[in-house]
Chain A
Amino acid sequence: MSRKRHRLVPEAFGQKRRREGGDVEADPLRGESGSARAAVAELVRLFPRVLFEDALPPIALRSQVYSLVPDRTVADRQLRKNSPILENKISLHRSVQSTADHLTLTPFFSLSSLWRQKALQEQGEIRIIQLGFDLDAQGIIFTEDYRTRVRVTVQLVNAGVLTVRDAGSWWLAVPGAGRFIKYFVKGRQAVLGMVRKAKYRELLLSELLGRRAPAAARLGLAYHVHDLIGSQLVDCVSTTSGTLLRLPET
């Protein structure tokens, strides 16, 4: 009796009483809830490092984070706060606008590892004076002080680590990201094609993940499915047999 009364007040805001606890079996991909940081860590684990032989840092996409963290505004807010500048290791967000497809990607990586590869350590520390978050290309703007040597910046630009954004500010770039983009675009089309070819243009998530990955999807099925869900290229419908991915009618 007392248990019922406690529930009446919040029930006024929801039409149907929600049943507590595990009635739905944990979906393979949807178990994640909580912070964007945990989501990024999870996605970084999904990234196939062997494919690029460590030439590229692990890249996770913002749309994938949306698939793991259901509330987009909260995910955005956490991602924005999530760029601490630590001593030697800087983890930050950055994005690339692919001309072919108007994707927005947000790779998360540690800059120091990249710099080590480019053998620029001997130039000494570059002091990052100001890091800003640019919403549109969603990149980090790196503006520097006159005190920092111009020569070093020119070398960084030549190495491909920095790209010019405006006078006095640069984007931090991922050199060699072209290969990733190529695999990503092809893989996305391939996985979307799998859903499109299914009968009634819908597929159960578990069935999709159980299928053999097409040759074009080299980054892994789970990686691409997260991206498709988060960028709303497929509608996620929860059914009694699990999550169903359906192509939107529009």
Chain B
Amino acid sequence: MLGFLSARQAGLDDPLRLRRAESTRRVLGLELNKDRDVERIHGSGVNTLDIDPVEGRYMLSGGSDGVIVLYDLENSSRQPYYTCKAVCSVGRSHPDVHKYSVETVQWYPHDTGMFTSSSFDKTLKVWDTNTLQIADVFNFEETVYSHHMSPVATKHCLVAVGTRGPKVQLCDLKSGSCSHILQGHRQEILAVSWSPRYEYILATASADSRTKLWDVRRASGCLITLDQHNGKKSQAVESANTAHNGKVNGLCFTSDGLHLLTVGTDNRMRLWNSSNGENTLVNYGKVYNDSRKGLKFTVSCGCSSEFVFVPYGSTIAIYTVYSGEQITMLKGHYKSVDCCVFQSNFQELYSGSRDCNILAWIPSLYESVPDDEEALVVSS
């Protein structure tokens, strides 16, 4: 550590190197901490979490009872022991609360004045944060499994919505109506994600085992269908061109947008090259997944080797993205974990599970390491 500091001081090393080394060291030491707590508001399972991308200070959570809660993650008390309090919440008594379970919440990517939430009651609601009123509602014919708004888009305000029908709908926030439909999947769409690199590239994952990459400006169909066999399997077989051997549950782009991770109910996780759709064949082993709807997992940002945090039953498994090595399993929840988000400024992980708890995983404090016996022998 001191080596990194002195190298940075002397100008021998890039300043970013120290930052990445320290971030990696902190992520490798994630654990539950008695000093940090998240206030328990939800009365039923927490389905989704999202931390605001601007400051990393506020966290939204959506529950199975339709309740949405907003937490403040910043520690403004002077004490080390801190509970993340709920600032406000859309409870069951709110007139515009979702009728059924909230599946996805997402902050507006450019500021915290607005957020969107989609639910099993076939609606996507756009909320004004300060007044906690609905600004807009989009209604669909089928239950909504997932939605996502592009984090880098400046030229469009499209929200991609995945529903139980096979069509991906794109809703325009500016005009208030659905502008686009992307056809190509055959069963329900379980996850959608915009690329963090290009504002028009969208990835969708469906229960028909296929994952498709779309350019939304193109009318004629998807760009690439991800194929786990990289084209080597016989095309006559029905399972050709599938990303997984079961439903594809979750999608996550790496923070630079060059790779895409998918998890499926065949208990596998695959890493794809997002520019040509090639399966990089990194083997993560068995990633247990029995979720019938989408699984929300996340990738770290700012470490020297990126890590992916995947809910694995009632634990969270951490793998290195590019080598497939399992680092550790974070045990702490009582029931199955549904979602996790990573706060990249402080390298903290927040996870929500069906036991109604949100747990905060904090990098462990630096503890002094016992001296080597060899050094003692040498000195004595």
Contacts and interface: CB of A to CB of B under 8 A. Distances in A.
- B and A form one assembly: yes
Interface in B197-238: 228-230, 232-236
B25 A134 contact: no
B285 interface: yes
Contact of B229 (A14, A136, A232, A248): A136
Contacts of B312: 250
A72 B285 contact: yes
A231 B372 CA distance: 37
Interface in A131-148: 132-136, 141
B377 interface: no
Contacts of B234: 165-166, 169
B252 to A, nearest CB: 19
A12 B29 CA distance: 11
Give the most central of A72, A75, A141: most B CB within 10 Å.
A72
B233 A134 contact: yes
Chain A contact patch, size range: 20 to 34
B34 interface: no
Interface string A1-26: 00111001101111111000000000
A12 B4 contact: yes
Nearest to B304: A13
Interface in B227-262: 228-230, 232-236, 239
19 contacts: A4-B375, A12-B21, A12-B22, A14-B25, A15-B29, A15-B364, A72-B285, A77-B281, A132-B232, A134-B229, A135-B229, A135-B230, A135-B232, A136-B228, A136-B229, A141-B232, A231-B286, A232-B286, A250-B313
A32 interface: no
Contacts of A231: 286
Interface of B: 1-4, 21-22, 24-25, 28-29, 228-230, 232-236, 239, 279, 281-286, 288, 290, 304, 312-314, 323-325, 364, 369, 372, 374-375
B34 to A, nearest CB: 18
Contacts of A11: 1
Contacts of B24: 12-13
B90 to A, nearest CB: 33
A71 interface: yes
Contacts of A12: 1, 3-4, 21-22, 24-25
Given A8-B3, A13-B28, A166-B235, 17 more contacts: A8-B1, A11-B1, A12-B4, A12-B24, A13-B304, A15-B364, A66-B285, A72-B283, A73-B283, A73-B323, A133-B232, A135-B229, A135-B230, A135-B233, A249-B313, A250-B288, A250-B290
A158 B364 CA distance: 64
Given A12-B21, A134-B233, A250-B288, A73 B28 contact: no
A167 to B, nearest CB: 8
Contacts of B304: 13
Contacts, number: 82
Given A166-B234, A232-B285, A249-B313, A13 B369 contact: no
Give the most central of A12, A13, A72, A231: most B CB within 10 Å.
A12
Given A12-B4, A232-B286, A136 B239 contact: yes
Interface of A: 3-5, 8-9, 11-17, 66, 71-73, 75-77, 132-136, 141, 165-167, 169, 231-232, 248-250
A9 to B, nearest CB: 5
A213 B3 CA distance: 54
A181 to B, nearest CB: 20
Nearest to B279: A135
Contacts of B284: 72
Give the most central of B234, B235, B323: most A CB within 10 Å.
B234
A5 B6 CA distance: 12
Nearest to B281: A76
B25 A9 contact: no
Nearest to B26: A15
Nearest to B242: A136
B233 A136 contact: yes
B232 A73 contact: no
Given A8-B3, A12-B22, A71 B325 contact: yes
A3 B232 contact: no
Nearest to B2: A8
B282 A73 contact: yes
A60 B4 CA distance: 46
A136 B237 CA distance: 11
A9 B4 contact: yes
Contacts of B372: 17
Nearest to A134: B232
